[in-house]
Structure 1
Amino acid sequence: MTQNTHPRSSAPEATSSRDCDIASPGLSAAGLPLAKNWLAIISFIWAGQAASMITSFAAGYAIVWYVTESTGSALALAVMNLCAMLPMGLLSPFGGIVADKHNRKLIMIVADGAVGLISLAAGLLILAGDVSFPLLLALCIARSVGQAFHSPAMMAAMPMLVPDKHLLRINTLDQLLASIASIGAPAFGIFLYTTLGFAAVMFLDFLGACVAVLGLLLAKVPTVVDPAAAQQHVGANLRDGWRAVAKTRGLLLLIGGVTLGMFIFGPLSAL
C-alpha cells in the first residue's frame, strides 16, 4: 500500500505547485504585489506617453523654427533654450522628492494636463494673432517645469508596475521611444508647422497630453510613500540622495561624463 499511495500523493502536490506558480501574479521590481494585467497597464501608460512625447517634441521644434524664422537672432534662440532647459535641471531633484512623498500617478496626470492646457491656450493666442516672444518663453518655462515633475514620477512608478525580469526591457523601450521622438519629431514638427500652421501644432500637443492623461486614468498605479522620506525636510532628502549617489564612485563619474557631454553637444543639438 505504501508503494501505491506514494506516487498518488506526490503528483497532486506537484500539480498544485505549478498551478500556484501560474496563477500567482508575482512581485514587481519594487517588491510589491504585481497585478495580473500588468502588461495591459504598461501598454496604456506607454501608448499615452508615446503620443504625448512625439507631439511635445514636435511642438518644441515648431517653437524653435518660429523663433529662428521670425527673429533670425542667435541670442533669442539661446534665451529660449535656456528657458526650456534650466527649470527642468534645477527642479528635477525636487520633483523626485515630491514623487516619493505623494501619489505618482496624480503627479503625472497634473503635469501632463497642465502642459496640455498651456499648449491649448498658446494655440488659441497664436490663432488670434497674439503671438510674441515673451509668450513663447513662458510656454517653454511651463513645459520645462512640468517635465521636471513628470519624469521623476514616471521613473519611480515603473518599478512598481513591472516584474524585475522585464524592467530592463521596459526601460529600453522608453529610451528607444525617446530616441525615435528626438530624431523624428523635428521633421514632424516642421512639416506640421509649414503645412497646418503654428497654432495647429500647439493644438496637437494638447491632444497628445489628453491621450497621455487618458492612458494614466485607465491604468492602476500603486501609491507608495516612503515614511522616512515623508517626515524629512526637503534639504535632508536632497542630502541623503547625494550621499547615496556618492557611495558609488563609478556612478559619480558617469553623471559627470553625461553632464559634460550635454554641455558640449547641447549647442550642436540646438543648431
Structure 2
Amino acid sequence: MSAPDGHDMPRMSQYLSEETIEEETIATTIEDTSDRSERGWIRRAALLLTGQAFSLLGSSVVQFAIWWWIVLQTRTGSAMLLATLFGVLPQALVSIFGGPMADRYNRKALIVLPDLVIAAVTVLLSIAFATGWASLSLIFVALLIRSAGAGIQQPAVQSFIPDVVPEKGLLRVNSIFGVIDSANRIAAPAIAAVLVNVAPLWSILLVDVTTAVIGVGFVTLIRVPAKPEISRATEDGAGTETGEAAARPVEPLPLAVLCRTFADLKAGFIYTMHHPYLKGAVLGDALTCLMSVAPMNLTLLLMTREYDGLNLDLGFVNLTTASDKLAANELGLSVGLLLGGALMSAIGPRLLGGALARMRAIAFGIAMVGITVVGLGLAPNLLAYLIVDVLNGVASAVCVGPMRTIMQSESDESMTGRVFGLDTMLSTLGMPLGMLVFAPLADVIPIVWVFVSGGVLTLPVAWYVLTLSRRSVPGKR
C-alpha cells in the first residue's frame, strides 16, 4: 500500500479530529448521564423505600390479625403447620418463575401488579367475613394467593434496588430497608392489637388495601435511569446467543415459557453454586430458615401455652390478655430488628466495605440467631423471654443486610433476579419443610425443646458460611 501524499494529510487530520471530537462528545454524554443518575439515586431510593414501607405496614397488620385469629381459634401445631404451608409454600414455588421474570420483564411492573392483586383478594376476604360465610379454609386460600404474589414481588424488589441505587449505596439502602421493615413490624403488631380489640376482622383487612394503593402510587413515580446494554451470561452461565436462539424450533407459548423458566432457574443455580460468596449467602439463608426460622414460627404457640395466665407489668404497659402477649412477642423481635438495622446502617458501610467482611458478618449473625433461638426456649420467665426476643431480632438484622448486599453486588446485573429468585425459593421452602418436622413435634413433646433443637442445629450453618468465605471468588482479586 502506498503512503498518503501531502494533499491527503490535511484531509486525514480533519477526519481524525472529527473522530476525536465525536468520541469526546460521547464520553461527555455518558459522564453527564452517569452524574445525573448519581445525583438522582437518593430520590429514587426514597420513593421505593416509602412505597414499600406503606405496603409492608398494611400487609403486616393484616398478617398479624389473621395469624392471631388462627392461633386463638385453634391453639394447635397442626393449624400453624397448615397456615405456614399455605402462607409460605406458594411463595417458594412461584419464586421459581419470579426470579427469571425479574431479569426479563419490567421490574417496576412486577412490584406494582402483585400488590394490586393481593389488595383485590383481601377485599374479597373482608366481604366474606362481613357477610358471615368466612372460614378457616377460606383464610388458607387467601394466604395462598398473598404468598404467590410475594413470590413474584420479592425478587423484583431486590433486583430493582440495584437499578435505582449505585453500588456504593447498596449496603446503606438495604440497611435502611431493614430499619423500615423493623419499624413496620413494631407499628403493625401494636396497631393490630388495638384493632383486634375494637374492630371486627373484616374492617382490619381493609387496612392492607389502603396501604397497597398508597405504596403503588410511590413506586410508579420512580423513573429508572437508562443503562448501557449488557451481554447476558452464557447458558451454563445464563443465556444463549441470538443465532442459537433463532435456530431453535418454535414452541407453543406456555411450553416455551416453562422451558425458558427452568433453563433460567438451572442457569441461576449453576451461576450461584460456582460463586462461593453467593453460595454462602443463599444456602446460609435457606438453612437458617430450615433450622431456626421454622421453630420461630411457633413463638405464638409458645406464648399461648407457656405464658397463659401470667401477667407482666413493664411499668409503661401491663401484659394481661392473650393479644397483649402476642403483640409483645412481635414487638420484641421487631425492636431488635430495628436496632440491628440501625446499627448496620450506621457502621456497616465503614466496617463491612468488602465482600469478605460481609460474609463474616453473615456467619456471625447466623450463629447469634441459633443461640438466641435456644434462649427463647430456655427463658425462665416472660421478661427474660422478651429480652432474648429483642436480641434475636438484632442477630437477624446483622445477617440480613449483608446477605442482600452480597447477592446484589457480587452477581452480574443480568443474573441478579435469578439469584434472588433462587434465594427466595430455597429460603421459603426451608420454612415449611422445617415446620413439617417441628410443628408436629410441638404437639407431642414440650415445645421448649423444639426451640432448643432448632437453635443448636443452626450453629453448623454459621460455620459452613464462614468456611465458604475463605474460598477465592472467580474473577476477583
Post-superposition shift, 1:220?
1.9
Partner secondary structure for residue 37 of structure 2: coil
Matches within 5 A, 1:37-116: 37-116=40-119
Distance in 2, matches of 1:138 and 1:226, equals 41
| 1:252 has 2:260 as partner | no
Q: Residues 162-192 of structure 1, C-alpha deviation per residue, up to 9 Å, x if partnerless?
A: 1222122111111222233335433332322
Indicate the SS of the match to 1:37. helix
Distance 1:71 1:48 in 2: 35
Q: Pick the aligned partner of 1:26 from 28, 34, 46.
A: 34
1:223 and 1:79 map into 2 onto residues whose CA distance is 44
Q: 2:151 aligns with which of 148, 152, 156?
A: 148
Deviates more, 1:177-186 or 1:257-266: 177-186
Q: Output one character per residue of 1:44-63: Cα deviation in whole Å (capped at 9) or x when no partner.
A: 22112101101101111111
Q: Residues of 2 paired with 1:137 and 1:99: CA distance?
A: 27
- Residue 34 of structure 2 aligns with an amino acid whose one-letter code is G
List structure 1 runs of 4+ shifted beyond 4 angstroms.
222-232
Q: Does the aligned pair in 2 maintain the 1:193–1:200 contact within 8 Å?
A: no
The answer to whether structure 1 residue 164 and structure 2 residue 167 are counterparts is: yes
Once the two structures are TM-superposed, the CA of residue 75 in structure 1 deviates from its matched residue by 1.2
Q: 2:295 aligns with which of 246, 267, 270?
A: 267
Correspondence 1:206-217 to 2 at 5 A: 206-217=209-220
**Contact kept in structure 2, 1:52 and 1:205, CA below 8 Å:** yes
One-letter amino acid of the counterpart of residue 107, structure 1:
L
Unaligned runs of at least 5 residues, structure 1? 1-19, 28-32
Aligned counterparts of 1:259 and 1:36: Cα–Cα separation in 2: 36
Equivalent position of 2:267 in the other structure: 240
Q: Report how far residue 264 of structure 1 moved.
A: 2.6
Report the more deviating stretch, 81-90 or 232-241: 232-241
Displacement after TM superposition at 1:106 (Å):
1.1
After TM superposition, the structure 1 stretch with the greater mean CA deviation from structure 2, 121-130 or 68-77, is 68-77
Question: What is the CA-CA distance between 1:156 and the residue it aligns to?
Answer: 1.2
Aligned letter for 1:115?
I
In structure 1, distance between residues paired with 2:69 and 2:230: 44
Preserved CA contact (<8 Å) 2:96 2:261: no
For 1:241, the aligned partner's letter is: G
- SS of residue matched to 2:34: coil
Letter of the 2:150 counterpart = Q
In structure 2, relative to structure 1, the CA distance for the partners of 1:201 and 1:235 (3 Å cut) is: same
Q: Does 1:191 align with 2:194?
A: yes
The CA distance in 2 between the partners of 1:241 and 1:226, in whole Å, is 17
Give the corresponding residue for 1:122.
125
* Structure whose alpha-carbon radius of gyration is higher: 2
Q: 1:148/1:36 Cα in 2 relative to 1: closer, same or farther (>3 Å)?
A: same
**Number of paired residues?**
246
Q: CA RMSD in A?
A: 2.7
Displacement, 1:40? Answer: 2.4
Gaps of 5+ in 2: 1-27, 233-238, 246-258, 300-477
Q: Which whole-Å CA distance do the structure 2 matches of 1:226 and 1:130 have between them?
A: 53
**Alpha-carbon deviations, 1:110-133, whole Å to 9, x = none?**
111111111112112211222211
* C-alpha separation in 2, matches of 1:244 and 1:124: 46
- Counterpart CA distance in 2 for 1:255 and 1:217 is 30
Secondary structure at the aligned position of 2:82 is classed as helix
Q: In structure 2, do the counterparts of structure 1 residues 135 and 38 end up closer, same or farther at CA, with 3 Å as the change threshold?
A: same
Q: Give secondary structure in 1 for the equivalent of 2:297.
A: helix
CA distance in 1, matches of 2:171, 2:63: 29
CA distance in 2: counterparts of 1:72 and 1:221, whole angstroms: 47
Map Cα deviations across residues 236-269 of structure 1 (whole Å, 9 max, x no partner): 2111111111112343344333222212322223
TM (normalized to structure 2)?
0.48
Distance 1:212 1:226, change over 3 A: farther
CA distance in 1 between counterparts of 2:287 and 2:164 reads 33
Quote the Cα distance in structure 1 between the aligned partners of 2:204 and 2:33. 42
